[in-house]
């Protein structure tokens, strides 16, 4: 039986974007609207604020090749040095709204989605290591969790409000996405698919916003197991630890009332004693 532990009771409005830093052996994640970057050290079992962004929300983050973090804020990409706390603006993206979920690809590019606005839906951009920005998908109703298959030939992206996880053929040489198809469509009352990750056996772990759980999908898309959390809005998931044997899960407390959102809403959880393990995330090479 899996073991579930609450490791950081931060009461975050929208805890998101968990990312394991193997060099520092720490977990990083964000509280999006607060513009706050958190970290957790499993060796000391301590967590704290690593960075408060003066520029506003942080939608997501990637790990750079040299160990720095890239923070995706409101149209701006910032480089954050974990050891010194120094930040540097790297580039601006001509987007209408703030960034949401992001992921690095095997070649150091970054795929980054933006939120819908009052008169527009979200888009998915690709940033190449030379700073070139390309719009790869348009008019997504909240582009969200992304991942790659182990053979690096398939790319997943979630469209939350459409209740779908899509699969694309992925060209590692160019970063192009083709042959869109639906990997999994969820029922309207089954929670909204949010952040995701892919484990070493090719299974997709999808967080369920308003669903209170994480669902594990076989490579065919079929659900094979799930883990429930004491939080209604389960937002994202990643693997970490020395052997990537630990599952870390973020949640949200959007209305500030745990009597409605769940006793663990806004906290970060650790899941151990799993029968699988994850793989390291790819590193960006933008800055």
Residue with tokens 């995706």: 72
3-state helix, strand, coil in the chain (%, to 5): 0, 55, 45
Of 202, 214, 225, 224, nearest to 249 by C-alpha is 214
Active-site position among 101, 105, 194, 199: 194
Sheet containing strand 133-140, strands side by side:
99-104, 110-114, 122-127, 133-140
**Does residue 194 have an active-site annotation?**
yes
At 283, list the tokens. 């590193």
DSSP β-bridge partners for residue 197: 205
Which one, of 215, 247, 253, lies nearest residue 232 by Cα? 253
Tokens of 65: 């090749």
Residue 199 and residue 156 in contact, taking contact as beta carbons nearer than 8 Å: no
Type and span of the H or E element at 60? strand 60-63
Q: Which residues are catalytically annotated?
A: 194
């Amino acid at each position: 039986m899996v073991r579930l532990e609450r490791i950081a009771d931060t009461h975050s409005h929208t805890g998101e974007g968990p990312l394991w830093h193997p060099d520092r052996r720490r977990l990083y994640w964000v509280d999006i609207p607060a513009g706050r970057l958190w970290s957790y050290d499993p060796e000391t079992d301590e967590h704290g604020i690593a960075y408060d962004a003066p520029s506003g929300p942080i939608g997501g983050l990637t790990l750079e090749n040299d160990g720095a973090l890239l923070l995706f804020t409101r149209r701006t990409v910032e480089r954050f040095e974990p050891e010194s706390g120094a930040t540097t603006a790297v580039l601006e993206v001509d987007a209408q709204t703030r960034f949401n979920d992001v992921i690095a690809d095997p070649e150091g590019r970054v795929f980054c989605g933006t939120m819908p606005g009052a008169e527009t839906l979200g888009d998915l951009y690709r940033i190449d290591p030379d700073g070139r920005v390309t719009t790869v998908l348009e008019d997504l109703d909240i582009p969200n969790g992304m991942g790659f298959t182990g053979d690096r030939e398939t790319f997943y992206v979630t469209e939350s409000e459409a209740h779908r996880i899509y699969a694309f053929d992925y060209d590692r040489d160019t970063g192009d996405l083709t042959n869109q198809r639906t990997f999994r469509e969820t029922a309207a009352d089954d929670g909204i698919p949010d952040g995701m990750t892919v484990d070493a056996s090719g299974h997709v772990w999808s967080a369920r916003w308003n669903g209170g759980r994480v669902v594990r999908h076989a490579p065919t898309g079929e659900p094979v197991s799930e883990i429930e959390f004491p939080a209604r809005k389960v937002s994202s998931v990643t693997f970490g630890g020395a052997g990537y044997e630990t599952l870390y899960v973020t949640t949200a407390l959007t209305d500030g009332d745990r009597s409605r959102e769940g006793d663990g809403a806004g906290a970060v959880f650790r899941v151990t004693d799993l029968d699988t393990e994850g793989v390291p995330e790819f590193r960006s090479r933008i800055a």
